Structures are given as C-alpha cells and as structure tokens.
Amino acid sequence: MALIYCVANQKGGVGKTTTVVNVGDYLTMRGHNVLVVDVDPQANATSSLGMREKERSASAHPAPTIYEVLVSEQPIGQAIRTTRRPRLHVVPSTPALAGAEVELVGLTGRETRLRRALTSILQYYDYVLIDTPPSLGLLTINALTASRDGVIIPVQCEYLALEGLSHLLHTIDLVRQRLNPQLKIAGVVLTMYDGRTRLSQEVVQEVKKFFRAGEVFQTIVPRNVRLSEAPSFGETIFTYSPESTGAMAYAALAEELLARAKQPVRERGVR
C-alpha cells in the first residue's frame, strides 16, 4: 500500500512543486512506483513532467484530470498518465480546477473526495505525492485529508519566511481534529538556501527554533539555477543535471524521507 504525502505551504514560490517532482523522481530511481497528484490549478507539476494541457484539451475526448476526479467523481484510474520516467505517473491538473474550489463547496464529502478517490489505486504505488496550490482552500484541505503519512512543508530561506506558517499549522491542526486524525508533519524542508547571505543563515536558525527538534529535515536545498531550468525541458533534476548541487540535495532529502518512513511513528517529531 502506498504511503501518501502532500507538500503544502500557502505561500507561492517556496519550492512545493520542485520538491514533489524531484523527490518523486528520485524515489523511482530507488525502485519505487510513484504517483504525483497535481491539485494546483496552475498545473506546474503537470507541465514539469512534460504534459501539455493544450494537447490534452485539443483532442476530441480529452482524458480526465484531477478536476473530473474531484468534481464529477470520475475514477482516478482513468486520469493517470505515464511520463517519460519509468515508474513515475501523474494525475494531471488543469486551469479549470480553479473553479473546483467553489464548485466543491456545495458537494457531498467535499473535503474527503481526494482521499476516497485514491483508495482504488493505492495498491499499485509505493508513494503518492500530492502537490498543492498556494492557498488553504478546499483543494489543500483535500490534500491534507488524504495524506495518511504526513505533510511536507517547504520553507524558503527568504525574508518573512515564517510569516503565514502559524496559519498553516492551525489549518493542519483543524484537519487533524476533524478529518484526518493521523495527519502529522513529515518534515519541514528549507529551500533556496544561499550560504553567502546572512539572511539565509538566520532563516535556518529561526525555522529550527520555531519547529520541534526532528521536525526539520537535515537536508537544506540550496538555490541552484539548474532546478529552475529543468522543468522547461520537461525534465527532472536527475535527468537534466544529475551532478548539480540541486540534484544532490533532492537525493539526500528523499533518502531522509525514506528513512523516516521506516521509523515507528513515536520516534518521529510528531506534533
């Protein structure tokens, strides 16, 4: 049965999608079958994995996306696409998903639709990684509710890095109380670190103070231009620039996640 994680932070541009795509691809290189579920209307994970919305919607019978899965309850199996990478599959998103945030409000089981949809395909994967939009609306709530094994929180090493984090943690608490009692923080990952700036170093210290010991991943992802170039070629960092500092960091991060996944819950930094 697959382990399910989402990557969430309502701030945009902190490295959520980059983390989903590259951790996901690394896990496939370790022999795991991985499903990326794109729950962001911006569909950056979808396009990073080489899938083009224009081609999809131009066909006479466009294949379903996460939108049809959440709003019309179409079987998620029909929405799964293969990618160039063996063992890495994706449930794509589409800009129409922006409407789902409102459409879901009037529907039954509006917070649990993704969790229920995933049950039918969990047996085929080792890891499900859910990418979320930069908001704390129903799409992110669906992702948090579905994440049996935890939420990964990227924090950018930038000015005001901690801003908004208490709001995110409050939302996580609410979801844990009402929808997903198992929900825990799988780890906080510092991203876009620039060792030359004092600011980056200060953010690392602040974040380590803010979260409990063990909650912050030891791996810090450096700012690395290769990471930002790879998606435009539909590649992950491991095919685009396997020797880069970005590739090394995401390999180390994924290894940490694998090690944490093996530990009994009580030894982890559970909030």
Residues 193/169/101/79 CA torsion (nearest 10 deg): 70
CA distance 51 to 53: 7
Q: How far is the CB of 193 from ligand ADP (least distance, A)?
A: 8
Instruction: Report CA-CA distances (Å) from 155 to 62, 126, 131, 193, 201.
Output: 36, 26, 15, 10, 13
Q: How far is the CB of 133 from ligand ADP (least distance, A)?
A: 9
Interface map 26-45 toward Mg ion (x if CB under 5 A): ------------------x-
- Residue with tokens 């079958």, as numbered in its chain: 33
Interface residue with ligand ADP among 76, 118, 190, 192 (CB under 6 A) is 192
Using left for φ > 0, alpha for ψ between -120 and 50, and beta otherwise, residue 234 falls in left
DSSP classification of residue 158: S
Instruction: Report CA-CA distances (Å) from 209 to 8, 70, 86, 117, 203.
Output: 20, 38, 40, 38, 10
| Segment 207 to 246, residues that bind ligand ADP, using CB under 6 A | 221, 223-224, 227-228, 231, 246
Q: Tell me if 16 contacts ligand ADP by CB under 6 A.
A: yes
Binding-site size, ligand ADP (CB under 6 A): 18
Q: How far is the CB of 219 from ligand ADP (least distance, A)?
A: 11
Q: Tell me if 16 contacts Mg ion by CB under 5 A.
A: yes
- Site of interaction with ligand ADP (CB under 6 A): 12-18, 44, 134, 191-192, 221, 223-224, 227-228, 231, 246
Q: Which residues bind Mg ion (CB under 5 A)?
A: 16-17, 44
